[in-house]
Structure 1
Amino acid sequence: MAWDVLAWVLAMLAFLLVRYNFDLSDAQWGATLAYTAIAVALQVLAGIFTQFYLGRSRIGSFAEASWLGMLVVAIALVVGLVFSVFSPSFPRGVAIILPPLALVLMATGRFLFRTLIDSRSRASRDGAIPALVYGAGNAGYQVAQLLALAEEPPYRIVGFVDDAKGKRNLRINGHRVLGSGDELVKIAKEHHAEVVILAISSASTSLIQHLSDECSDNGIELMVIPPLREMVGGQVTMGSLRKLNVADLLGRRPIKTDLSAIADYITGKTVLVTGAGGSIGSELAVQAHRLGPSKLVLLDRDESALHGVQLALYGNGLLDTDDMVLCDIRDEEALREVFETHRPDVVFHAAALKHLPMLERFPLEGWKTNVLGTRNVLAAAHAVGVERFVNISTDKAAAATSVLGRTKRLAERLTAWYAMQYGIPYLSVRFGNVLGSRGSVLISFRSQIEKGGPVTVTHPDVTRYFMTIPEACELVLQSGAIGRPGDVLVLDMGEPVKILDVAKRMIAESKKDIEIHFTGLRHGEKMHEVLFSGAEAGEPSEHPLISEVQVPPLDPELVPAAPTEEDGRSPLDSAVAPPRTQLTIEHVRLAEASLIGGRE
């Protein structure tokens, strides 16, 4: 405030000296001094009233400069106009030149103050780790601002790199863009950077993998900012800067979800989730709960899993409310009673057996749950008039080679039959491996690493698609909003990732010396998963990350109690049928082939 008062006085003296050499009449002196005094008084009063002088903005910031400019302009217009009209002896040049000159002096003082503070701040960063920032966009600017404002920043920026040619030599907070990503290692060595901060929130998997390899080979630590969905308000914070982890290698694409479209079919409706205690079912329950259904019914055959999801949703695990339902989807009568009681409007069918090797050994169990169980849920849903039904499927249903894939494909076809027969939006959603779900490769690898290894990988070249649980469930909810009757909606899983790379990354994170053993592909496993079979052509949908395909409908009346052998005998009825452990995918394959009039 004192500096701004002095700025008006200095501006007045400078102008009168240059323009009039202080040779003014008494009347002119009086009018000029009165003008300056009133302008100063108005600025002080307005500054206090608007809290301009009470710390509402950081000194020297853009916000403070904007407020200062508006204050001076407003004062100049009002006071200058009054004096020009009512004071004949007032030098009109004072009203024109004095305010901008005073404003320049005010701004100069703030610039010098901020320069002094910044120089002290830089001096305090001498112990910070020199860092090179990859990405000179909005996220890179936020990183620079964050480190500039921190009292004791962990990193000291030595420059930026960016692949956009137009940004070469651009300066961000005083730090120059030194080159492109191709020159990263060379620039890092020239400027003694020990850390590279990847400031691209939507970086592709291939870019992250490339940077990880380059940094690792040259002894440089790689830090990343999280995807936008993990940042509050899309803002980078000091806490959000973190080391690269394995999840970053498996896809970091931001997902834009049309919440209004989702809310339209969930808000105020009764929603039922089967398999609600599982990894996907529980996250679906959490996300659906946020959209305000009138009632959320959670069904599972595992009481402990229901306890966990109730605790996560409501903060208690008493299991004493009617929206927590203990029921096995194999039990047709019990399932029908549940649907009659709750009469849901929307159903998310996530209950399934999903462990491929186990279903290869016990295919009949997979048939009972994934095929017959889905048929039971569909029948119960249609009987009570469920408006929308979403069946959770898997990429293994495309060009299926396993019991899991075959049974899930039959579930897709059963869902399509109800949709086609009755013209209602019953549909399936197909996606690949989900990070952190029960039995996922990350859980297995982490357990093996904790025990000291070895880490087992089936084959050095095997690849899989991956997606995070929240990401998958967001797209499932979106699919339910945009899907048409009978659709099989296929989620874009990004780029396939080598399982060997995942194992190596997790071992590197553990900082342990652990061996990797290759066990060979198990029966029914593919080297590379596909999202579409050879007979399927994915069509674009309303969402850029969702494609749609059609599958032939399957009349539920044609589904037998168990897959049959080639001669038509049922393993349940035949006294000479092989034991359960000897039932193979061939029985499931033949059963499906017979249902469509021939082998596929």
Structure 2
Amino acid sequence: MQDWRKHRLTGERARPITLILVDGVSWLLAIFAGLMLRFDFSIFRIQVLSTVQVALVVLVSQLIFGYLLWLYRSRYKTGSFDEVKTMVAVVTAVLVPSWFAGLYIGYGHGIPRTALIIAAPIAFSIMGFARYIWRIKHERKLKPGKSATRTLIYGAGYAGEQTVNHLLTDAAADSLPVGFIDDDPRARNRTVRGVKVLGTIEQLREIAAETDARSLMVCIGDADAALLRRVSDLASAAGLKVMVMPTLSQILSGASKISDLREISIEDLIGRVPVRLDAGSIKGYLAGKRVLVTGAGGSIGAELCRQLTKFGVGELIMLDRDETALQDVQISIHGNGLLETRDIVLADIRDPQALASVFAQRRPEVVFHAAALKHVSTLEKYPEEAWKTNVLGTLNVLQAAQAHNIETFVNISTDKAANPTSALGHSKRVAEKLTAFTGANSQMRCISVRFGNVLGSRGSMLPTFNKLIAAGLPLTITHPEATRFFMTIPEACQLVMQAGAIGQSGEVLILDMGEPVKIIDIARRMIAQSGKNIELVYTGLRQGEKLHEELIGTGESNERPYHPKISHARVDVLDPVNLDHDEWFERLRAHSVEVV
């Protein structure tokens, strides 16, 4: 490996002495060619002594300017655009003293004043051609060997080009690009380092057979789940393994590089919703502020805490009643779980006195309220717990925030709150109304953010299915036609922070989660990936469950004035003095779906 790295370094940046010799010979050939062109190819008209004197001035000038401008100090990759720009500067600089030398030495001695002007572009061309040959020679040695997997690249744009450039100059790469796949007609004749666009994704099976490809790399940073499902199905039919690159937001944030390719996952196929953030607007309300996150040990709360640290918050306050969960998020952020730092707060949102004490001591300026109970079936069995946590707990946090002049309050809601049919949905709907009321009757900017299922959260579908598959147990599906919205936790949290920047007080901001996905399709894909013979069992819809979830309730708008992935809606306000426990339970019973 060390020998390969040494070879690669010498290949990318040719030895300075070699470049000096190449450039010197280039100038000598160019001066001779310039004189021959000027003298109509009559070699006898060349004055040898004067020509040698001028040539010495040119060579010394080339050496001096080449050193001063770093051309001969291994700064640039040989044959790169940066080196070419420097060569232009050096040749131009050399031409000035050389022209005056030619004028002084050659005037009346057989050296026309235009000879060096003719010689300069010729010298540059020879230098450039020599470097190109050098680069091609060494890059061929760096090309992956025969053992590398023959790979097609889906996407001939910038990301695809960079991927090909990387793979073809890495002798240790596991993949060898053999062709591009692209659906854009304008890319039909594109070629990168000899790798051509061979057709569209619909022609994948034929192209794979022609090129003997074994894998497909999807090099589209903003590819969503629907596109990846289509590509995955076509690749599977063609017998190809699928690799994907990180999302564009991960690349732009520096969390990942274009070259960080990996095998496609079930999360990519059902929950990938590429997000483009307005980082400036997010920093505008977070940078330098004291930010409190309730439910910081939960899946959404923990990811929010991790992402908030990237936006320069002045102080992060992580509140939860689960000390082990707080330790886990502390480890993920700080690399230790000592639980001794000020950012850890152990408290329960059901305890208004504890919240009042925390707000008085820590004086947060922005609050993300993520603490909640979330399982539909559990709360159908124990609706009183939904009332205590999701309703009264939210009210406690709102009142503590209002009492201490919080600037921005973001309530994390759920798609179950749109046309609710369950205890979870009704409790979160009330939380949205309480948030809207507080925003209308205080100086706080209070908004709710509503979205559907997130992938990978504790107790959610994917981890549950994975455990059942690992144990060889049947996968339980409520209904063969049941659909749900899905999004990865990082993408959901990015949009939550974005919503906090653009939401007006009293609004409910609804995240675009793409198209709903059939749960049965997810189960079948996961079983196919496992290679096991797993049974599917239908249990029927449970009390309070919907066959198809909704994000936008009846009568709510779907306007997107600021961000293409975020809708703005309004809900009725609810004054806390009108909050009635018995009335809520009556409404819950009246609106619950009867399961058959």
Partner of residue 147, structure 1? 167
2:90 aligned partner: 71
Is 2:46 the counterpart of 1:43? no
- d(CA) in 2 for partners of 1:340 and 1:588? 40
Please point out which of 405, 412, 417 is paired with 1:397.
417
Partner AA of 1:47 in structure 2: G
Q: Which amino acid aligns with 1:101?
A: I
Contact persistence 2:349–2:394 (CA under 8 A): yes
- Cα pair 2:163 2:259 within 8 Å, conserved: no
**Which residue is 1:114 aligned to?**
135
User: Structure 1 residue 119: deviation in Å?
Assistant: 4.2
Inter-CA distance 205–3: structure 2 relative to 1 (3 Å threshold): same
Report how far residue 295 of structure 1 moved.
Answer: 3.0
Kept after mapping to 2: 8 A contact 1:143/1:236: no
* Deviates most, 3-12 or 235-244: 235-244
1:104 maps onto 2:107 in alignment: no
Corresponding residue number in structure 2 for 1:366? 386
- Cα 1:53–1:465 change in 2 (3 A) is same
Q: In 1, Cα distance between the equivalents of 2:541 and 2:479?
A: 6
**Residues 560 and 154 of structure 1: CA distance in aligned 2, closer, same or farther (over 3 Å):** same
Deviations 1:139-167 (A, max 9, x none): 11011101111113322222212111122
| Counterpart residue type for residue 269 of structure 2 | L
Q: Which amino acid in structure 2 is aligned with residue 50 of structure 1?
A: L
Secondary structure at 1:76's aligned position in 2?
helix
Q: Distance in 2 between matches of 1:588 and 1:453?
A: 35
SS at 1:522's partner residue? Answer: coil
Distance 1:111 1:298, change over 3 A: closer
Conserved 8 A contact 1:364-1:562: no
CA 3–289 in structure 1, closer or farther in 2 if over 3 Å, else same: closer
Does residue 1:586 correspond to 2:593, yes or no?
no
Counterparts of 1:447-486 in structure 2, within 5 Å, are 447-486=467-506
Structure 1 138/322 Cα, relative in aligned 2: closer, same or farther at 3 Å? closer
Aligned to 2:296: 276
Matched, 1:203 2:223: yes
Number of equivalenced pairs: 570
Letter of the aligned partner of 2:518 in structure 1?
A: K
Out of 95, 102, 105, which is 2:116 matched to?
95
Q: Which runs of 5+ in 2 are unaligned?
A: 1-19
CA gap 1:11/1:225 in 2 versus in 1, 3 angstroms: same
CA distance in 1, matches of 2:411, 2:161: 43
TM-score for both structures, normalised by structure 1:
0.89
Q: Where do 1:135-534 residues align within 5 Å?
A: 135-231=155-251, 240-422=260-442, 424-534=444-554
The percent identity for this pair of structures is: 44
* SS of 1:231 mapped into structure 2: helix
Letter in structure 1 aligned against 2:77: R
8 Å contact 2:544–2:592 — kept in the other structure? no
- Residues 314 and 482 (structure 1 numbering): CA distance in 2 closer, same or farther, change over 3 Å? same
SS in 2 for 1:197: strand
Q: CA deviation at 1:302?
A: 1.3
- In the TM superposition, what whole-angstrom CA distance separates every residue of 1:208-228 from its partner, at most 9, and x where no partner exists? 111111111221112221212
For the residue of structure 1 that corresponds to 2:48, the secondary structure is helix
The amino acid across from 2:131 in the alignment is R
Which of 541, 556, 568 does residue 561 from structure 2 map onto? 541
Instruction: List alignment gaps of at least 5 residues for structure 1.
Output: 567-583, 591-600
SS at match of 1:80: helix
CA contact (8 A) 2:162 2:258 kept: no
Name the aligned partner's letter for residue 11 of structure 1. A
Q: Distance in 1 between the 2:330 and 2:563 partners?
A: 31
C-alpha distance in 2, partners of 1:315/1:170?
46
- Cα deviations by residue, 1:387-413 (Å, 9 ceiling, x for unpaired): 221111001100111110111000000
TM-aligned CA distance change 1:367 to 1:163, over 3 Å: same
SS at match of 1:149: coil
3-state SS, counterpart of residue 422 of structure 1? coil
For 1:486 and 1:351, how far apart are their aligned partners in 2?
20
Supply the RMSD in Å over aligned alpha carbons: 2.4
CA contact (8 A) 1:368 1:562 kept: no
1:30 and 2:49 are equivalent in the alignment = yes
2:197 is aligned with what amino acid? V
* Deviation larger for 265-274 or 388-397: 265-274
